[in-house]
Amino acid sequence: MATIRQFGYQVSKDRQIDYDNNSRNLIRKVLEKEPSLNNCISCGTCAATCSAALYTDFSLRRLILLVRRGETESLKKETAKCMLCGKCQLVCPRGVSTRHLILQIRYQLQESGQKTEF
Ligand code: SF4
Ligand code: SF4
């Protein structure tokens, strides 16, 4: 009987983004209050200089992508990691008002009834 060799590879978890079922409510409300979000080009400069990233796996770039995709479930824990130090705002090449953006995401999550950890 042939033995199956284990090479340490496995099938990756499905990462399909279901835009049809994802809600656009959060980004709509956040954009009303912080339209500079539209200027974000996902360059990652904010994530590269982030104070919270020194101690956690927080990435503002990823947070913005999740908000744009309408994947709001994982935002609960993510937003709590930001220390609101404002470094990202100083380096953003597109002038995104990042601190206000993060505060708005937190606020809108609370308003929508999602339990947040801050
Ligand atoms: S630095 Fe500004 S433009 Fe670049 S990913 Fe961050 S928020 Fe977006
Ligand atoms: S305000 Fe938040 S996202 Fe921006 S650099 Fe500070 S900890 Fe990172």
For ligand 2, residues with CB inside 6 Å are 46, 50-52, 60, 82-88, 98-99
Please name the residue whose Cα sits nearest to atom 6 of ligand 1: 46
Q: State both tokens at 60.
A: 């503002």
Q: Whose CA is nearest to atom 2 of ligand 1?
A: 92
Band of pLDDT at residue 1, cut at 50, 70 and 90: low
Number of folded domains in the chain? 1
Range of the domain at 79: 25-111
Collapsing DSSP states into helix, strand and coil, what is residue 116? coil
- Output the pLDDT for position 76: 79
Q: Is the pLDDT of residue 7 over 50?
A: yes
Q: Are 111 and 81 in contact (CB under 8 A)?
A: no
Single pTM value for the model: 0.86
Nearest to 76 by CA among 106, 99, 33, 103: 106
Nearest CA to ligand 2 atom 6: 85
Per-residue pLDDT reduced to its tens digit, 10-63:
888 888 888 888 989 999 999 999 999 999 999 999 999 999 999 999 999 999
Q: Which amino acid is at 44?
A: G
- The C-alpha atoms of residue 97 and residue 87 are separated, in whole angstroms, by 11
- Any domain includes 87: yes
Whether 59 is covered by a domain: the verdict is: yes
In a domain, 3, yes or no: no
Phi/psi at 103 (5° precision): -65, -40
Quote the percentage of the chain above a pLDDT of 90.
69
**CATH number of the domain bearing residue 65:** 1.10.1060.10
Question: Is 82 among the domain residues?
Answer: yes
CB of 63 within 6 A of ligand 1: the answer is no
Q: Is residue 34 part of a domain?
A: yes
- Two tokens, residue 13: 């978890």
- Going by pLDDT thresholds of 50, 70 and 90, the confidence category of residue 112 is confident
- Considering the domain boundaries, does residue 52 fall inside one? yes
**Domain presence at residue 61:** yes
Ligand 1 within 6 A of 75 CB?
A: no
In a domain, 118, yes or no: no
What are the phi and psi torsion angles at 14 (to 5°)?
-60, 125
